Structure 1
C-alpha cells in the first residue's frame, strides 16, 4: 500500500496538469477581453484627441456611451461566452427555464425591452414636437380634445369626439410627440442605465463578497464593516450632491454613483454563498490537491454564486429604472428632455387631459419591473440546484 507521502506528488502533478489545461482554455477568452477593452480605449483616445467629427454618422459619443461599451464587453465575456462554451451543460438549464411559462413570458418582455431600447430610436426616430398633432388620443379611443383651444383632431371627428388613428397608436403628448417614440426612447435610456450600473454592481459585489467569505478573518471584518458604512449613505443623495457640484446631472453620473454605492446587498449575498461553499467537498479536494486560492475562486466559488448574483442584479435593475424616472420627474436629471419622468410631469394636471400618456408609461414601467423580478426568481429556481463542481 503506497504511503500518503508517495501519493501526494502524484495528485499534485495531476492537478497542475488540469490547471495548466484550464489556463490554456481560458487564455483565448482573456486575450479577447483585453483586445476588446484595448480597442475601446484606443477609440476613446482617438475620438477625444484626433477626430473632429462624429465617428459614426451623426452619433456623438458621450461618456455614458463609452461606459456602456465596457459594460457590454464584460457582459459578453462573462455572460454569453461561458453559456455558449459550456453549451452541453447549459442547454439543460435553458430547457428547464423555457418549461416555466412565467419565466418565459418575463424573458420575452425583457428581450423586447432590450430590442426596443437598442434599435427603436434608430428605426422609428426620436420624439419630435408637432403642435399640429397635440393631445391626440390612442387608436380605438375617443377624446374631446377639440374642446381645448387651438387643438385640432388628426383622426375622424364625430359627436362623440376625436377618434384616435393608427398614425399615433398610443396618442400624442401636449406638444404633439408620439407616445410610441417616447416609450422607445425611454426604453433606450433605461437599457443603457441598466447594463452599465448593474455591471458595475456585479463586478464590485462579486469581488468583495467572494474575498470576504473565502478568506474570512480580518479581511472579512474590514470589508463587511465598509459595506455597513456604505449602506448608511443613500445613493440618491450622493447623486444629487455629486451631479450638482461635479459631474453634471446625466446618465453617466447616475450609473456611476448607483453602481459604486448600491452593491452592498449583493456582496452580502455572495459572501453568504462563499461561506457555505468554501467548505464543500469539491473545494476541499481542490485545495488539498494543490490548487491555488485564485483557481478555487475562479473555477469553483464564483461560478456557483451565479444564481445569487443574477437574482440580486435583476432586482436592482427595476430600482435603477424607477430612480431615473423619479429624478427626471423632479427635474434632477439632464436626460429629462423626452425622458419618461419629464413626460409624466407634463402629462399630469392642471390640464387634466392626456391620460393615455400616463397609462402608456405606467404599463411600460410596471411590465418591466415585474418582468425583471419574475425572471430573477425563475433563474434562481433553475440555477440554484445546479452546482458547478
Structure 2
C-alpha cells in the first residue's frame, strides 16, 4: 500500500504581499497602468516641461505655414512633420495636445491627492469625535453634496480664475472630497470601538495619535481606491470646466480647453477634436481600471486560486 506523501511547505504571504499579488494579476489594471505610464511619458518627454527640453522640435505656441490643409501626417509606420495635424493658424497640434495632456494630468493627480487629504481628515474627525464635531462636519458635507458639483465648481473657479492652474486645483479639491469623507467616517465609526483602540485609550494615548496612528492605517484600502476614482473624476471635471471657459485659461492649454477652442472646426478639421477627446477618454478609463484593480486587491473577501 502506497502512503500519501505529505504536502510540501506552504508559503505564507503578508497582507501587503497578498494585495500586490491580487493587483498584479488583474489584467485590466495592468494594461491600464501600462497605457497610463506611456501617455504620461509621451506627454512629458516629447515637448519637455519648464526648462527641461523634450525630443519634439516644435512647441504649442509657434505658428507656421499650413501643410496640406493642416491634415495629420501620422501613418502606420511614419510620424511626419505634424502627426496630429495643424490648427487653424498653423500651430503643431501634437505639441498642443501634449501640453494639454501635461496640464490635465497635473491637475487631475493634484486634485486627487488634495481631495483625498481633505476627505480623510474630515471623515476621521467626524467618525472619531462624534457629537457636535460630527454634526458640523457632516452637515457641511451634506450641503456640498446637494449642490450640483459642476455648478459649484464653475462658480468658485470663476472667482479664482486669476490664480492659474494651482488655483483651479484648490477649487476642485475643495468641492470633490465629500464622498471620501463619508466613506472614511463609516470606517472610523466601526474601528473606534475595536479592542486595540480601547487599549490605546486606556493607556492615555492622545486622541489624534489614536486616529492617525491606529485607526487610519486600517482604512488605507478605502482611501487609496477612492483616490484613484477622484483622479478620474477630476480630469473629467477639469475638462468640463475648461470647455465651459471656467478652467484653464489661454495662453496655456488643457485637453478640455482644446476641445472648446476647436469645437466649431469639427466638420472641417475633425482631428482638432478627436485627439484631445481620445486622450481624455484614455486617461479617465485607465485610472478607472486601475481603481477597479485596487478595489479587488484590497477586498479581503477576494479568494483567488493560488494565493
Same fold, TM-score > 0.5, yes or no: yes
Mapping of residues 289-328 of structure 1, within 5 Å: 289-328=203-242
255, 261, 270: which one pairs with 2:169? 255
Per chain length, whose mean CA-contact separation is higher, i.e. which structure has more relative contact order (CA < 8 Å, sep 6+)?
2
1:102 Cα deviation from its structure 2 partner? 0.9
Structure 2's unaligned 5+ residue stretches are: 1-13, 49-53, 302-307
1:245 Cα deviation from its structure 2 partner? 4.5
87, 111, 126: which one pairs with 2:59? 126
Give the match for residue 139 of structure 1.
Answer: 74
Alignment of 1:103 with 2:18, yes or no, is no
CA distance in 1, matches of 2:201, 2:256: 52
* 2:66 and 2:86 in contact (8 A); partners too: no
Give the match for residue 38 of structure 2.
Answer: 112
* 1:198 and 1:316 in contact (8 A); partners too: yes
Cα distance change of structure 1 residues 253 and 234 upon mapping to structure 2, 3 Å threshold: farther
CA distance in 1, matches of 2:265, 2:96: 21
Alignment of 1:183 with 2:116, yes or no, is no
3-state SS of 2:97 partner: helix
CA distance in 2, matches of 1:314, 1:171: 33
* 1:231 and 1:262 in contact (8 A); partners too: no
Cα distance change of structure 1 residues 344 and 131 upon mapping to structure 2, 3 Å threshold: farther
Cα distance change of structure 1 residues 345 and 295 upon mapping to structure 2, 3 Å threshold: closer
Give the match for residue 357 of structure 1.
Answer: 272
291, 297, 300: which one pairs with 1:382? 297
Aligned residues: 278
CA distance in 2, matches of 1:91, 1:179: 44
Cα distance change of structure 1 residues 212 and 170 upon mapping to structure 2, 3 Å threshold: same
CA distance in 1, matches of 2:120, 2:174: 13
CA distance in 1, matches of 2:28, 2:159: 44
What does the per-residue CA deviation read over 1:279-306, in whole Å, with 9 as the maximum and x for residues that have no partner? 2343334444544322321222111212
- Scaled by the length of structure 2, the TM-score of the pair is 0.78
More helix by share: 1
* 1:314 and 1:372 in contact (8 A); partners too: yes
* 2:115 and 2:230 in contact (8 A); partners too: no
CA distance in 2, matches of 1:110, 1:281: 42
Give the match for residue 125 of structure 2.
Answer: 211
CA distance in 2, matches of 1:113, 1:241: 31
* 2:59 and 2:92 in contact (8 A); partners too: no
Mapping of residues 219-368 of structure 1, within 5 Å: 219-245=133-159, 247-248=161-162, 250-337=164-251, 338-349=253-264, 352-368=267-283
- Scaled by the length of structure 1, the TM-score of the pair is 0.63
